[in-house]
Chains A and B, each alone.
Chain A
Amino acid sequence: MIQAKGIIKSFGENHVLKGVDVDFYPGKTNLIIGRSGSGKTVFLKTILGLFEPDDGSIHYGDEVLGEMSKQRRKTLRQEIGMVFQGGALFDSMSVAENIRFPLEMFSSMTEHEKDARVKFVMDRVRLEGADELFPSEISGGMQKRVSIARAISMNPNYLFCDEPNSGLDPETAIVIDQLIQEITHEFGMTTIVNTHDMNSVLEIGDHVVFMKEGYKVWEGTNDQVLGSTNADVEDYVFKSKLFKQVRTALRK
């Protein structure tokens, strides 16, 4: 479990996070949603430890991130998988090399074990036969799957995804969403997904946190989102024509 307690973060005069308290549960896809500029990405990077909070604390299980030794922080990072918005695949490496990289760097597996692990995760994200291809030679959806495969190659306890289906067509986006949810349930990871895609919210939102202007203003499940009476959530969710029609249908 990851807990964020009273997180405050500013960049100069720009106060981005103004005291955020959220618990993220293991074995669930925890979604952070909100408009652009609501502080989602800064919050995610603060949880990851890429930004130090000005105030408040991040708890990984019983441990406080800010109080961990350098060595413990380093080992914690090996328990974390991250799927970046753009994939962040290493251009100079093939698909298989990208997935193998964390194993080469941190594991004490034999070459045979590494080969087996790479094959397992590639099969798991349905990337069979793409071993020798380079990131520039594969589609956006495949790049996201490689990114997920790389993130889970070390069998992490925590999975972070920053807008994992941005730039993908609706069908591929659903495939990626479902893949994230499947592996979260399968491996019991604490998964945090940063998104502003309502389809993702409804598809995989086991636990949904809504942020606005640096505050958490609502949390619940995907089933509760459409029925929320919170004005900010309503305004966000039912902005599009499609969801306005959904609301009308629901009220009938």
Chain B
Amino acid sequence: MITNFFEGIGAYALLMTKVFRRPDRWKLFYRALVKEIQLLGLDSIGIVVILSVFMGGVVTIQTAFQLSDDPLIPTYYIAMATRESITLEFSPTVVSLILAGKVGSNVASSLGTMRVSEQIDALEVMGVNSASFLILPKIVAQLIFNPILIIMSLFLGLWGGAMAGDLLGLVPFEESIMGYRLEFIPFENAFYALIKTVVFAFIIGSVSAYSGYTVKGGAVEVGVASTNAVVRSCLAIILANYLLTDLILTS
């Protein structure tokens, strides 16, 4: 098992060296990039909106539940704690995990299907660097669009938290805004979230592409690859999250 793990890491690294090559035709690369941004990015907006609004609401309710017993704590502190939770962890990490499920399975199954139906062989026979041609636009699309999704998620999460707090009478809307602005340091909060997002975007794109591109067999194996893509991406995100948190916040 350990041998397989290290072999997998090696194969992944070798694949990435094939992926990050200059595209044969920039025109085709840009065309593929636009398609991928549509497929992997724009089509994910719906789920990010719903998830973020309700996640913000839940975090506010949970925080209020923990802090409301103490009359000495001002209510806007609930909003401040909500902001910290959403910007530092919930938006970048939870949304990335959800995207790993949605985008990762899509990438792995589309590449896996191309592999088993010999479409990738057809590209290779033509002399096309299939890894770069197929995978690079997916990774670049993720790197461009995931930060946009996460910024959107940050705003929507905070708005959802403020709305939930106001509707349930836990924190008035104005106090939520006050709490959100209290001691807000852009670098420590938003920038930290964006750094994590870029790393997670690379993980989602590359790990799921590796799972799909290396499929051998038929339809069953494509299904297995799709599941593996999600599991591997999620595990890699969680591990990277720990390392980045330690690296950025403690240094």
> Which residues in A have some Cβ–Cβ distance to B below 8 Å?
48, 50, 73-78, 80, 82, 84-86, 88-92, 101-102, 104-106, 160
Q: Which residues of B sit under 8 angstroms from A76, Cβ to Cβ? A: 127
Q: Give Cα distance in the complex from A77 to B118, angstroms.
A: 16
Q: Give Cα distance in the complex from A86 to B121, angstroms.
A: 12
The number of A-B residue pairs with CB atoms under 8 Å apart is 51
B126/A88 in contact, CB under 8 A: no
Closest to A78 in B: B127
A88/B128 in contact, CB under 8 A: no
Distance (Å) between the CB of B81 and the closest chain A CB? Answer: 46
Q: Give Cα distance in the complex from A86 to B120, angstroms.
A: 13
A-B contact pairs, 30 of them (CB 8 A): A48-B125, A50-B121, A73-B127, A77-B125, A77-B126, A77-B127, A78-B126, A80-B125, A80-B126, A82-B122, A82-B125, A82-B126, A84-B118, A84-B121, A86-B117, A86-B118, A88-B117, A88-B118, A88-B119, A90-B119, A91-B114, A91-B119, A101-B126, A104-B25, A104-B27, A105-B24, A105-B25, A105-B28, A106-B126, A160-B125
Taking a contact as CB atoms closer than 8 A, the residue among A48, A73, A85 that contacts B118 in the complex is A85
Q: Which residues of A sit under 8 angstroms from B126, Cβ to Cβ? A: 77-78, 80, 82, 101-102, 105-106
- B43 at the A/B interface (Cβ < 8 Å)? no
Distance (Å) between the CB of B234 and the closest chain A CB? Answer: 27
Q: Give Cα distance in the complex from A82 to B124, angstroms.
A: 11
Distance (Å) between the CB of A214 and the closest chain B CB? Answer: 22
Q: List 6 A-B pairs, minimum CB-CB distance, nearest first.
A: A77-B127, A88-B118, A88-B122, A82-B125, A84-B118, A74-B127
A104/B124 in contact, CB under 8 A: no
Closest to A83 in B: B122
Q: Which residues of B sit under 8 angstroms from A105, Cβ to Cβ? A: 24-25, 28, 126, 128
Known: A104-B25, A104-B28, A105-B25. A89 touches B119 (CB 8 A): yes
Q: Give Cα distance in the complex from A101 to B32, angstroms.
A: 13
Taking a contact as CB atoms closer than 8 A, the residue among A50, A85, A89, A92 that contacts B124 in the complex is A50
Distance (Å) between the CB of A109 and the closest chain B CB? Answer: 13
Distance (Å) between the CB of B107 and the closest chain A CB? Answer: 14
Distance (Å) between the CB of A190 and the closest chain B CB? Answer: 15
Bin the interface of chain B by size. Answer: 10 to 19
Contact with A along B52-83 (1 / 0, CB 8 A): 00000000000000000000000000000000
Q: Which residues of B sit under 8 angstroms from A102, Cβ to Cβ? A: 126
> Which residues in B have some Cβ–Cβ distance to A below 8 Å?
24-25, 27-28, 35, 113-114, 117-119, 121-122, 124-128
Q: Which residues of A sit under 8 angstroms from B127, Cβ to Cβ? A: 73-78, 106
Distance (Å) between the CB of A99 and the closest chain B CB? Answer: 12
Known: A75-B127, A106-B127. A84 touches B25 (CB 8 A): no
Closest to A101 in B: B126
Q: Which residues of A sit under 8 angstroms from B117, Cβ to Cβ? A: 86, 88, 91
Q: Which residues of B sit under 8 angstroms from A78, Cβ to Cβ? A: 126-127
Q: Give Cα distance in the complex from A75 to B127, angstroms.
A: 7
Q: Which residues of A sit under 8 angstroms from B119, Cβ to Cβ? A: 88-91
Distance (Å) between the CB of A96 and the closest chain B CB? Answer: 15
B125/A50 in contact, CB under 8 A: yes
Closest to B128 in A: A105
Most chain A CB within a 10 A radius of its CB, from B35, B121, B126: B126
Distance (Å) between the CB of B68 and the closest chain A CB? Answer: 53
13 more A-B residue pairs beyond the given contacts A77-B127, A101-B126, with a C-beta to C-beta distance below 8 A: A48-B125, A50-B125, A74-B127, A76-B127, A80-B126, A85-B118, A86-B118, A88-B119, A91-B114, A104-B27, A105-B24, A105-B126, A105-B128
Q: Which residues of B sit under 8 angstroms from A50, Cβ to Cβ? A: 121, 124-125
Distance (Å) between the CB of B100 and the closest chain A CB? Answer: 23
Q: Which residues of B sit under 8 angstroms from A106, Cβ to Cβ? A: 24, 126-127
Distance (Å) between the CB of A61 and the closest chain B CB? Answer: 17
Q: Give Cα distance in the complex from A84 to B116, angstroms.
A: 12
Closest to B24 in A: A105
Closest to B39 in A: A92
Closest to A92 in B: B35
A88/B28 in contact, CB under 8 A: no
Q: Which residues of A sit under 8 angstroms from B128, Cβ to Cβ? A: 105
Q: Give Cα distance in the complex from A90 to B121, angstroms.
A: 11
Q: Give Cα distance in the complex from A85 to B121, angstroms.
A: 12
Q: Give Cα distance in the complex from A92 to B111, angstroms.
A: 12
Closest to B31 in A: A104
Distance (Å) between the CB of A222 and the closest chain B CB? Answer: 27
